Amino acid sequence: MPTHGYEDELQSERGYVAGLYTRLDAERARVKGRYAAALRRNDGTPMERDFEVRALAKEAMRLDVADNGLCFGRLDTRTGERSYIGRIGLFDEANEFEPLLLDWRAPAARPFYVATAATPENMRRRRQFHTRGRRLVDFTDEVLGRPDGAERGDAALLAAVNAPRGDGMNDIVATIQAEQDEIIRLDHPGVLVIEGGPGTGKTVVALHRVAYLLYTQRERMERQGVLVVGPNPAFLNHISRVLPSLGETNVVFTTTGDLVPGLRVTTEDTPQAARLKGSLRILDVLAAAVADRQRLPGEPRIIELADVTVRIDAEIAGWAREEARGSGRPHNEAREVFQEILTWALTERAIARIGKGWLTRSDTEAWEQLREDLIAELADNDAFTAALDELWPILTPETLLAELYTSAERLRAAGGDEALLRTDGTAWTVSDVPLLDELVDLLGRDKPVDQSAERERNEQAQYAAGVLDLMVGREDMMDDEDHLFAQDLLYAEDLADRFLERDTRELAERAAADRDWTYRHVVVDEAQELSEMDWRVLMRRCPGKSFTVVGDLAQRRSAAGATSWDAMLQPYVPGRWIYRSMTVNYRTPAEIMSVAAAVLAEFAPDVQPPESVRACGVQPWAKRVSADELSRAIEEFVREEAGREGTSVVIGPPDVPGAVAASATKGLEFDAVLIVEPERILADGPRGAAELYVALTRATQRLGVLHQGELPQALTGLAEIGTPAPVGSRQQ
């Protein structure tokens, strides 16, 4: 385009974008005004007011997050029609709600991401905007449908991947590529597995898929929310702003170690213990451990009553145990059956002795009164209570598991391996979490039902029933699927649980604090690290089995992790999971990826490394240092990188000052990475090569390696330098 023509177009586009912001500001003011008015309303029911206030608050938030990068492009059809693409949809109310801006998730916006010169999708041109704040800086055009079939231009993409990294992951809404868009919009109700090597963008694609599902299935998704599971808190912090930047907040971010509310993970398991705890075979150990606490007396337990002495012997206790186990109730709730049978048996024996010689069978009232008196006396008898506590104790998951881990005798009785023994039973590990979660169901409540809480719940159920009535009464506002969902799934009692503390906590906060909360959709990142037991917990959290699973089997570190997606998922979702692969590396430049690929070839020769879309022109380096020089070399790297824009990290063994473990950087990215003593990383356990592979692929621009011993064979291609100063220098 000639310079003067480009400038004219730029001014025209600036005017249009400015008009979009004017429309956004007007819409924002209108919504905030309605919100303020709703807060002051006195008419209608409290439930209707609450519904309106929350809906308007969400709409106001959606409009607020759209302020940055509101519009990022334009599509021109072959017939001359124009569509502007942006973060949200905006409409011209004065002109029959004509779309002024298409939401990026709308079907009509899809060609912006998938159209190419060879397959133009009936489009003539794609225009990509570069904005700063509210100002349009410039734009680039791609003419589509050329005979030469040239592929999509990558100016916007390369600008994004070459930009310095900040504190967290950014959304890719303006630069989604065709293979990413296909996965984001995939219509599959079950489990979607997205596998890709480092830098392929699988995590951010999964998050955009959540935003897309929330857009297309908002009513259903928002009622139950979305759970995002990541490997560690640093990773969750890194990705936490992506969904809010897209206007979505009904999302809970957690690690597998936080799936049991209130539990603190303080230590790590040995690989053998992690493998044992992660296998489904541990279920038999847990069931046996619970059964082992349901005891029979070795010697009869003597119960002194006012008028008679009775005994709990093995015969009576065995009968009571059989009945309690046969009830099918969890352990703590089955205690009631155990107690009832013991009480009945002891009462009958006591009556027979007390009434012998003076109480006739025809004296029904006397019999019943005596029985009631004995039942009441047993309930208050300390010896009887002590016997119950010994033979069928009330247990918590934490108590049972801690006592199992610290007792070789109990562990043997449950059929557990001695590798599970430890001195501090309550020093919880990540692998303990699914076991504790399983025990919640095996044990049940650990105290009697609070009657006042039960009454409150009934009141909430009545209130929830009113919600359902309102929803059914608004059938004209609901599609068929939502109507059926409201009728068939949202029972009043279940909805009552969702309304508890509704005035003080948002959905994400309530869901995170509730072990029994179930989600509409679950995203699992670094899924190759999850054990069979971890999957059992997550499947329990999502009865609909709607998952987006993100991982890379080649990066597996956990001894209990996945070696096959099929082996992990088929038991839970047979025939309901599909697989998609991502092969393009958007993060790691070719110079660094070639080094990482050499490591990958050694420990996973059958895995194809992802192909980098760019080169950075900076060659990675290695330097051999003495023990005395090591600290100084690290300090020099840190000092130099502190003067640059972007982020950096030092990765190495635990005893290296200022270094973090490779596992702590999973899913993260940095402009510059310094790896210290890779030979020790390789030697640290069976998954050392995977750890080194992870470390090598965190850098987006610069990579350096410091080593004291011989450089590992896979890294011999690195250029050895005399000093670490050339971290960012360009090699000739």
Bridge partners of 73, per DSSP, are 85, 128
Residue 718 to residue 594: CA distance in whole angstroms: 10
> Annotation-wise, does 277 bind a ligand?
no
Structure tokens at 43: 């008419």
Residue 233 to residue 250: CA distance in whole angstroms: 19
Residue 392 to residue 416: CA distance in whole angstroms: 21
Amino acid at 294: Q
Structure tokens at 113: 């991401």
Structure tokens at 160: 């994004």
Residue 338 to residue 388: CA distance in whole angstroms: 8
Among the listed residues 650, 651, 642, 637, the one whose alpha carbon sits nearest the alpha carbon of residue 725: 637
> Annotation-wise, does 203 bind a ligand?
yes
Angle between helices 331-354 and 382-391 (to 10 degrees): 140
Burial of 187 (0-12, 13-18, 19+ CB in 10 A): exposed
For 521, other C-beta atoms within 10 Å of its C-beta total: 23
CB-based contacts of 135, cutoff 8 Å, min separation 6? 14
Q: How many CA atoms lie within 13 A of 97 on its CB side?
A: 1
Q: Where are the beta strands (DSSP E) in 553-677?
A: 577-582, 584-585, 611-612, 621-624, 648-651, 670-676
Given a contact cutoff of 8 angstroms between Cβ atoms, the answer to whether 213 and 138 are in contact is no
The residue whose two tokens read 């009509």 is 108
Residue 240 to residue 708: CA distance in whole angstroms: 38
User: Residue 731 has what DSSP assignment?
Assistant: P
> Annotation-wise, does 623 bind a ligand?
no
Among the listed residues 26, 173, 178, the one whose alpha carbon sits nearest the alpha carbon of residue 116: 178
Residue 485 to residue 660: CA distance in whole angstroms: 47
39: helix, strand or coil: helix
Amino acid at 432: D
Residue 253 to residue 233: CA distance in whole angstroms: 9
Q: Where are the alpha helices (DSSP H) in 478-626?
A: 480-488, 492-499, 507-512, 532-541, 565-569, 590-603
User: HEC profile for 15-27?
Assistant: HHHHHHHHHHHHH
Radius of gyration of the chain from its Cα atoms, rounded to whole angstroms: 32
Among the listed residues 122, 161, 155, the one whose alpha carbon sits nearest the alpha carbon of residue 141: 155
Residue 610 to residue 353: CA distance in whole angstroms: 83
Q: Where are the alpha helices (DSSP H) in 170-217?
A: 178-184, 202-216
Q: Where are the beta strands (DSSP E) in 432-512?
A: none
Structure tokens at 542: 């999502």
> Annotation-wise, does 201 bind a ligand?
yes
The alpha carbon dihedral of 547, 550, 554, 555 has a sign of negative
Phi then psi for 549, rounded to 5 degrees? Answer: -110, 125
Q: Where are the beta strands (DSSP E) in 51-167?
A: 71-77, 82-86, 90-92, 98-103, 123-132, 135-143
Given a contact cutoff of 8 angstroms between Cβ atoms, the answer to whether 301 and 310 are in contact is no
Among the listed residues 127, 87, 330, 312, the one whose alpha carbon sits nearest the alpha carbon of residue 212: 87
Amino acid at 445: R
Phi then psi for 667, rounded to 5 degrees? Answer: 85, -10
Question: Where is the binding site, in residues?
Answer: 196-203
Question: Where is the binding site for ATP, in residues?
Answer: 196-203
